[in-house]
């Protein structure tokens, strides 16, 4: 009695396509899951960036308001240095308060700069941050960077010259 295997030609195993879809799907799921994970990491980074951007905007406005209030309160002949120092300190303090738990992602201290030119007070707030990657670590991406600089010049309109590199 002959076995069933000996009746079939030798190349029937290679010609048999049954189950090949499952193998292809199995191999394609790896990059698909990695891509979905990186997309989730990017969404988290953008959420953190949006909150830090709002904190930078608020810090610039607070710095201007504090500098203006200091100028009015002092009434000295040259209140600029004191007004600039008060505005920058208040802006940095407000940035950290507004950032909340997202402040843990900052790679350095936020920068708030106040300039006074005649009767015009303007401010710039900027930060650099790095958000830890969860799925990107599989591909060797440990952090995703984000940064923002907000220039608030009353003559150009609020936030008319935002520079957003990301």
- The reply to whether 164 falls in a domain is no
- The reply to whether 166 falls in a domain is no
**What's the whole-model pTM score?**
0.73
CB contact at 8 A, 114 and 121: yes
- The reply to whether 9 falls in a domain is no
Write out the residue range of the structural domain in which residue 68 sits.
Answer: 17-152
Say how many domains are in the chain: 1
pLDDT for 79-95, tens place per residue? Answer: 788 899 999 999 999 99
- The reply to whether 4 falls in a domain is no
Backbone φ, ψ for residue 78 (5° rounding): -135, 80
Helices 80-99 and 20-74, interaxial angle, to 10°?
150
- The reply to whether 160 falls in a domain is no
pLDDT for 116-151, tens place per residue? Answer: 887 888 999 999 999 988 887 887 888 888 888 877
- The reply to whether 42 falls in a domain is yes
CA pair distance 132, 142, nearest whole angstrom:
6
Q: What strand order describes the sheet that includes 120-132?
A: 111-117, 120-132, 143-152
Residue 72: both structure tokens together: 């009015």
- The reply to whether 57 falls in a domain is yes
């Amino acid at each position: 009695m002959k076995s069933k295997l000996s009746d079939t030609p030798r190349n029937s195993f290679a010609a048999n396509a049954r189950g090949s879809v499952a193998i292809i799907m199995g191999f394609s799921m790896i990059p698909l899951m990695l891509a979905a994970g990186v997309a989730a990491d990017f969404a988290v980074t953008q959420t953190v960036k949006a909150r830090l951007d709002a904190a930078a905007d608020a810090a610039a406005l607070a710095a201007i308001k504090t500098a203006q209030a200091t100028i009015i309160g002092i009434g000295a002949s040259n209140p600029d240095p004191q007004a600039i120092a008060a505005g920058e300190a208040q802006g940095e303090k407000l940035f950290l308060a507004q950032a909340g738990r997202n402040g843990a992602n900052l790679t350095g201290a936020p920068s708030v700069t106040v300039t006074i030119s005649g009767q015009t007070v303007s401010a710039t707030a900027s930060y650099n941050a790095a958000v830890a990657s969860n799925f990107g670590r599989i591909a060797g991406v440990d952090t995703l960077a984000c940064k923002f600089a907000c220039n608030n010049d009353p003559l150009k309109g609020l936030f008319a010259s935002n520079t957003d590199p990301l």
